Amino acid sequence: MINLEHVGKTFPGQAAPAVGDLSLEVLEGEIAVLIGPSGCGKSTTLRMINRLIEPSSGRITVAGKDVAEQKPHELRLAIGYVIQQVGLFPHRTIARNIATVPELLGWDRARISTRVEELMELVGLEGELAGRYPAELSGGQQQRVGVARALAAEPRLMLLDEPFGALDPLTRDRIQQSFRRIRDTLGLTAIFVTHDMGEALVLGDRIAVMHEGRLVQVGTPRELLTAPADDTVRQLMDTPRRQAAVVDALLAADGPR
């Protein structure tokens, strides 16, 4: 579905590339997670796919088509995109927010209305919320609207840039499971950016670890857990292990009830 061939990005005034000579293939129907420390180039890589950032070198294809040969606005309309800040239009109702891309594509009202109802049910939003405005919803509900809006035009591909990072742990866990169910239901291909290895292990079919603009290791969660390529990967994998160890220690200290 997605192929990045020797892709690089150097921003003006910067000596070192933000992304350097990166090659990655994402299979159809797969969730690929990009993870790494802040400034490693994961969000830049994501945004080069839909041309929010233009690469300095290399080639990117989506479904076999070179993105550089497509008009940026047409490319973006065909790709679902979700960010942490959600970016909902505050003056539009929830239904109108979800309908944004279908309206731009010229869908008729009946088709749009049906699609909005389908998506609200799919992401777990009650129908009565359709007429409300973003400020009247919780953070978790707003994020679900963002996912629904990204799915509205029936894309085959979704790009998600730390979409659940601002949510509380309980809401985050629920929406992660919801997104996984949606992906399985629709057969989507997705690239998901996160800095949380626990989230990467839950959601990713494969995980691509980045450091200083380069790929360090690409593999399944099991492969990264059992055979980390270097200390960068090993340290990332140690985080969920330490969290689990703390929980075990607390439970052991508490004793039987």
Neighbours of 4 (CB within 10 A): 20
CA nearest to 236, candidates 206, 203, 208: 208
- Domains of the chain, CATH where assigned: 1-78+156-220 (3.40.50.300), 87-154 (no CATH)
Hey, which bits of 79-183 come out as E strands?
A: 79-83, 157-161
Q: How far is CA 88 from CA 78, 92, 147, 224, 231, in A?
A: 18, 8, 11, 36, 39
Give tens-digit pLDDT for 182-229.
888 888 999 999 988 888 988 999 999 999 999 999 999 999 988 999
- What is the model's pTM? 0.84
Say whether pLDDT at 251 is over 90. Answer: no
Give tens-digit pLDDT for 58-99.
999 999 999 999 999 999 988 999 887 778 899 999 999 999
Say whether pLDDT at 105 is over 80. Answer: yes
Neighbours of 140 (CB within 10 A): 19
Give tens-digit pLDDT for 124-177.
889 999 999 999 998 888 988 988 998 888 889 999 998 887 778 887 888 888
Joined tokens for residue 26? 């994402």
